[in-house]
Amino acid sequence: MSSVIPVLEVFGPTIQGEGAVIGQKTMFVRTGGCDYRCSWCDSAFTWDGTGKSEALTAEEIIERLDTLAPASYGHVTISGGNPLLHKGIGQLVNLLQARGIQTAVETQGTFWQDWLKQIDAVTISPKPPSSGMKTNWETLNKCLTQLDTRQVSLKVVVFNKTDYRFAKEVHHRFPAYEFYLQVGNEDPTTADQQKLMQDLLQQYEQLIDWTMNDKEMNRVRVLPQLHTLLWGNKRGV
């Protein structure tokens, strides 16, 4: 018997818009519930009560994926909220891997579940000061050290210079891990897609500029969110 997982959205196939597997053709499973309340969260519906989650078993989630992409997906991204709140995801990961499907997970690294070791691409994204959240370095360290350096990457979203300094601290505390700087979306509700795209590209250029002029940040990658450039704040793409 599977334990149930609170699920907000199952969608795809689409591209992964950010981080270490940027551009990857993937299906998305977005779980509900988060231990964080980031001021600029672009998926606040997963924790602020505005989104209604369904309690699904791993088998039911697979059925949804199969309906969306009949016998036709090779990669699934589990995002949230914070998926690490849910032990039951282990069963979903087992079922996917039994079919040879690759997996990716996005989390802030505040909780641990043993199933995380099975994930092909784990993105750990400590939240910068602009989020209003505070990183517990010991907890983050515990999470990282249980994973293989080849399977995990660190990602920090940057909205301003204070966030950038935080990103540097993360990179310098954990230099062995692939490190990604990502442009923050300052307006996750606007419908003016044209203006959003222009603003994001401008902020991306700014972030590149800071990084290129910083001798302490040479082994890093700087990326935008491709899905936001393409589709603005639309959900389920």
The DSSP-derived string for 77-123 is: EEESS-GGG-TTHHHHHHHHHHTT-EEEEEE-SSS--GGGGG-SEEE
181-220 burial string, b = 16+ CB within 10 Å, else e? bbbbbebeeeeeeeebbebbeebbeebeebbeeeeebeeb
**How far apart are the C-alpha atoms of 131 and 186, rounded to whole Å?**
11
Site map 110..139 versus a copy of itself, x via CB under 8 A: ------------------------------
Q: Of 125, 110, 93, 150, whose CA–CA distance to 19 is shortest?
A: 125
**Shortest gap between Cβ of 54 and a copy of itself (angstroms)?**
24
Q: Shortest gap between Cβ of 234 and a copy of itself (angstroms)?
A: 12
Tokens of 43: 């998926």
What is the distance between the alpha carbons of residues 237 and 230, in angstroms, rounded to a whole number? 10
Task: Name the segment binding a copy of itself (CB under 8 A); options: 110-118, 119-127, 166-174, 225-233.
Answer: 225-233
> Between residues 40 and 231, which has the closer beta carbon with respect to a copy of itself?
231
Give the count of alpha carbons within 13 A of 128, CB side only: 23
Q: Could you give the string, one character per residue 178-197, with x where binding to a copy of itself holds by CB under 8 A and - elsewhere?
A: --x----------------x
Nearest residue (CB) to a copy of itself, 4 versus 220:
220
Binding of a copy of itself at residue 1 (CB under 8 A)? no
The binder of a copy of itself chosen from 74, 177, 206, 233 (CB under 8 A)? 74
Of 13 and 33, which CB lies nearer to a copy of itself in the complex structure? 13
Residue with tokens 């231990």: 35
The CB density around residue 44, as the number of other CB atoms within 10 Å, is 18
Among the candidate windows 86-94, 105-113, 184-192, 216-224, which touches a copy of itself by CB under 8 A?
Answer: 216-224
Strand partners, 54: 7
At its nearest, how many Å lie between a copy of itself and the CB of residue 70?
A: 8
By CB under 8 A, is residue 229 in contact with a copy of itself?
yes
42 is in an annotated binding site: yes
Which stretches of the chain bind a copy of itself, using CB under 8 A?
A: 12-15, 21-25, 71-75, 102, 180, 197, 201, 204-205, 208, 211-212, 215, 217-224, 226, 229-230
